[in-house]
Amino acid sequence: MNYTASANRYNAMTYRKCGNSGVNLPLISLGLWHNFGDVDISENYSKILHLAFDKGITHFDLANNYGPPYGTAEQNFGRLLARDFKSYRDELIISTKAGYDMWKGPYGDGGSKKYLVSSLDQSLKRMGLDYVDIFYHHRPDPETPLEETMRTLDLFVRQGKALYVGISNYQAEDAAKAFQILNDLGTPCLIHQPKYSMLERWPERGLLDLLEQEGVGCIPFSPLAQGILTSKYLGGIPDDSRAAKSSGHLQASSITEAQLQQVRALNKLAESRDQTLAQMALSWLMKDQRVTSVLVGASKPEQLADSLRSLDHLHFYQEELEKIDQILA
């Protein structure tokens, strides 16, 4: 069945300027970290992508090793892009990254020019693209001089393989150095992607101020702390949850009873705002004008639809914000 995008796709979404650039991003962007690999059902992830674009989500965020297996999220996205979104390419912001392990041996990880050039070429091939809109270095690499990594990002823009560049997971001090190098090269950093949520607030210790000062956008990932900030964990750790499976980034041992009590208290506050806990957690990030967009994942279309409802209630009263800080203290 041929996909035709909704004619009203831009009516419901709010867009925010990304730093000092001319780019506007939707307040909610779709991350393809999970649920788009070869282990997943293609009919399901097609529906998620269709719903996203129909609701004004123009930004799709990938990385070389998203899957599983590695590379398959880009491959599957590329297939859907060719089948359903070809005529809409110029309405989309497509980003990818490299920095974590991707293939065996010394050149499949980190921040070397050798790795990044090979990785972006592979990503473009998998997605069937001439260029990506944003290419990120996925993490700082202490083994590679920062100048080498940033010069490679600059090279991609000069080659036309990326329109803009970004960094992810960089602490404020390293980010400031990266911005300086990129500015000197004439390719300013467009955006920073930190892990940021109600439960992980390190970007408030200097990074957000730096981004504002430097005119760089901010797009938090894991805004729901991999599902902890949803109704899923209110009664403890369910058997079918990501934490219970004890594989990947979220371990059951890392979720404490004290944290679950915080989550239950936050849930009560969300209910008083006529929101789900997940919706409040997203709204809480978006209330800050320094946050350009928030990256959400979705395992089914209904989950994405639920996240989108966070846009209906971005305002917080001062006493609500104080209550949140009190709960999380």
Assign residue 186 the CATH number of its domain: 3.20.20.100
Please compute Rg for the chain using Cα positions: 19
Determine the structural domain holding residue 297 and report its residue range. Answer: 15-224+287-313
**Has residue 61 been placed in a domain?**
yes
DSSP tag of 200: B
Residue 233 has a pLDDT of 84
**Has residue 265 been placed in a domain?**
no
Residue 256 has a pLDDT of 87
How many Å apart are CA 65 and CA 102, to the nearest integer?
Answer: 6
Residue type, 183: N
**Has residue 279 been placed in a domain?**
no
**Has residue 308 been placed in a domain?**
yes
Helix (H, G, I), strand (E, B) or coil at 97: strand
- Residues 6+ away with beta carbon under 8 Å from 286: 27, 294, 310, 311, 314
Residue 39 has a pLDDT of 97
**Has residue 139 been placed in a domain?**
yes
Total structural domains in the chain?
A: 1
State residue 289 phi and psi, 5-degree precision.
-65, -15
How many Å apart are CA 213 and CA 51, to the nearest integer?
Answer: 35
How many Å apart are CA 295 and CA 299, to the nearest integer?
Answer: 14
Q: What is the pLDDT along the chain (329 residues), one digit of tens a residue?
A: 799 999 999 998 999 999 999 999 999 999 999 999 999 999 999 999 999 999 999 999 999 999 999 999 999 999 999 999 999 999 999 999 999 999 999 999 999 999 999 999 999 999 999 999 999 999 999 999 999 999 999 999 999 999 999 999 999 999 999 999 999 999 999 999 999 999 999 999 999 999 999 999 999 999 999 999 999 888 776 656 555 555 555 555 668 888 999 999 999 999 999 999 999 999 999 999 999 999 999 999 999 999 999 999 999 999 999 999 999 99
Residue 207 has a pLDDT of 98
Q: Is the pTM higher than 0.85?
A: yes
Enter the tokens of residue 107.
Answer: 């050149």
**Has residue 260 been placed in a domain?**
no
How many Å apart are CA 28 and CA 60, to the nearest integer?
Answer: 10
Whose structure tokens read 């831009």? 10
Residue 12 has a pLDDT of 87
**Has residue 320 been placed in a domain?**
no
